[in-house]
Amino acid sequence: MNFKIALSLVLLLAVRPVTAEIANTDSFNGFVRHMVRQHHFKETELRKLFKAVEIQQSILEAMSKPAEAKPWFQYREIFMTETRIAGGVQFWRDNEAALQAVERQYGVPAEIIIAIIGVETRYGAHTGKYRVIDALSTLGFAYPPRSEFFLKELENFLLLSREEHVDPLQPMGSYAGAMGLPQFMPSSFRTFAADFDGDRKRDIWKNSGDAIASVANYFVQNQWRAGAPIAFPVTASGEAYKQALSKGVKPDTTVSQLRTLQVAIPPQLANSEPVKLLAYQQPANEDLWVGLHNFYVITRYNHSPLYAMAVYQLSQAIADRKKSQFSPA
């Protein structure tokens, strides 16, 4: 087989129209019926729409290689780079007015909002190369482990397309269907996306003000506490601290309990403060941190403690860099 023929076959297998893959499956037909009955879509229009949708093998492959599978010292290197820190300072300069207004209104620090956008899309430089409808359809109809979740997101995407008067074949996003500068899933868009400039549009793709306000609103709706601390590095003597290490990120112990386990906690934290002890793997040891309520709120954006720590550390690096550049000599 010559190279051109082989390449054509690979491309044919990698991108397949929905009609060739799932059009007559119970899953697809059930989804169409649900959209017709529950949300009054027209069946003929839905089936016509999905004829243009493609199942993509590259999306399925990307789902099997999440960055969160890396140890902390490798994961951290992805985000704590000079490019991302400098880019965050520049994003701050470019959007100073919006960031100040949003911080006043929502109580979420500018550096946290910037770090979210920096981690998610490198300040809008990488918002995704897949059509959102292709990503959600691929994962909803051809990825059984999480089909229920992605079919729900596909439902929300079709609803937001109707509500926002958007052609559902146009929006682009990540391989998981996340959209815009802050990489909102469709359900998050419908719940949290904000119209910052009052133009009656929630444009998280091109309008940085809307994107900034949307991130802040996401945090506030998940109970962000304005002015409260987020996380602290700690140290421990002996091995007793390991009793407090457990899965999850929600504060499940108190400062007092950790102190009895020989964990050195910053003195400004009261004994009754709920915290979560977290361990982050380094090549030869581990870093210990305590996450507070606001750290847990960051994980509502992405449940990984690696993600939340990357956001926090990047936010601090950006704030420190900006302060040093604008401090008087």
pLDDT digits (tens, 9 = 90+) for 55-66: 999 999 998 877
Q: Give the domain CATH number at 157.
A: 1.10.8.350
Could you tell me what percent of the chain has a pLDDT over 90? Answer: 88
Geometric angle at alpha carbon 206, from 100 and 90, rounded to 5°? 50
Q: Is residue 275 part of a domain?
A: yes
Binned at pLDDT 50, 70 and 90, residue 192 comes out as very high
The better pLDDT of the pair 220, 3 is held by 220
Q: Which of 20-29, 110-119, 181-190 has the lowest mean pLDDT?
A: 20-29
pLDDT of residue 1: 44
pLDDT of residue 280: 98
Tokens encoding 223: 């109970």
Q: Are residues 145 and 246 in the same domain?
A: no
Task: Give yes or no for a contact between 71 and 284, defined as CB atoms under 8 angstroms apart.
Answer: no
Q: Are residues 286 and 138 in the same domain?
A: no
Decide if pLDDT at 3 tops 70. Answer: no
Q: 45: domain range?
A: 3-64+128-171
In a 10 Å sphere around its CB, with 0-12 CB exposed, 13-18 middle and 19+ buried, how is residue 22 labelled? buried
Q: What is the mean pLDDT of residues 153-175?
A: 97
Q: Is residue 120 part of a domain?
A: no
Q: What is the mean pLDDT of the chain?
A: 92
Q: Is residue 181 part of a domain?
A: no
pLDDT digits (tens, 9 = 90+) for 64-108: 877 667 899 999 999 999 999 999 999 999 999 999 999 999 999
Q: Are residues 167 and 247 in the same domain?
A: no
Binned at pLDDT 50, 70 and 90, residue 236 comes out as very high
Could you tell me what percent of the chain has a pLDDT over 70? Answer: 92
Q: Are residues 136 and 271 in the same domain?
A: no
Binned at pLDDT 50, 70 and 90, residue 24 comes out as confident
Decide if pLDDT at 21 tops 70. Answer: no
pLDDT of residue 267: 95
Q: Is residue 189 part of a domain?
A: no
What is the 3 state secondary structure string of the chain?
CCHHHHHHHHHHHHEEEHHHHCCCCHHHHHHHHHHHHHHCCCHHHHHHHHCCCEEEHHHHHHHCCCHHHCCHHHHHHHHCCHHHHHHHHHHHHHCHHHHHHHHHHHCCCHHHHHHHHHHHHCCCCCCCCEEHHHHHHHHHHHCHHHHHHHHHHHHHHHHHHHHCCCCCCCCEECCCCCECCCCECHHHHHHHCCCCCCCCCCCCCCCHHHHHHHHHHHHHHCCCCCCCCCEEEEEECCCHHHHHCCCCCCCCEEHHHHHHCCEECCCCCCCCCEEEEEEEECCCCEEEEEECHHHHHHCCCCCCHHHHHHHHHHHHHHHHHHHHHHCCC
Q: Is residue 191 part of a domain?
A: no
Q: Are residues 153 and 269 in the same domain?
A: no
Binned at pLDDT 50, 70 and 90, residue 23 comes out as confident
Which amino acid would we find at residue 203? D
Last residue of a domain, one of 119, 138, 171: 171
Tokens encoding 247: 């899965």
pLDDT of residue 265: 96
Q: Are residues 153 and 59 in the same domain?
A: yes
Q: Is residue 205 part of a domain?
A: no
Q: Are residues 235 and 152 in the same domain?
A: no
Q: What is the mean pLDDT of residues 2-17?
A: 44
Provide the 10 A C-beta neighbour count for residue 111.
Answer: 26
Q: Are residues 259 and 133 in the same domain?
A: no
Give the chain's domain count.
2
pLDDT of residue 127: 96
pLDDT of residue 64: 81
Q: What is the mean pLDDT of residues 265-294?
A: 97
pLDDT of residue 19: 55
Rg over alpha carbons for the chain, rounded to the nearest Å, is 22
Q: Are residues 137 and 281 in the same domain?
A: no
List residues with catalytic annotation.
120
Decide if pLDDT at 269 tops 90. Answer: yes
Q: Are residues 255 and 164 in the same domain?
A: no
Q: What is the mean pLDDT of residues 27-43?
A: 97
Q: What is the mean pLDDT of residues 222-235?
A: 98
Q: Is residue 79 part of a domain?
A: no
Q: What is the mean pLDDT of residues 30-46?
A: 97
Q: Are residues 150 and 268 in the same domain?
A: no
Task: Give yes or no for a contact between 271 and 246, defined as CB atoms under 8 angstroms apart.
Answer: no
Q: What is the mean pLDDT of residues 12-39?
A: 79
Decide if pLDDT at 14 tops 70. Answer: no
Binned at pLDDT 50, 70 and 90, residue 241 comes out as very high
Binned at pLDDT 50, 70 and 90, residue 328 comes out as low
Q: Is residue 302 part of a domain?
A: no
pLDDT of residue 57: 92
Q: Are residues 17 and 164 in the same domain?
A: yes
Decide if pLDDT at 50 tops 80. Answer: yes
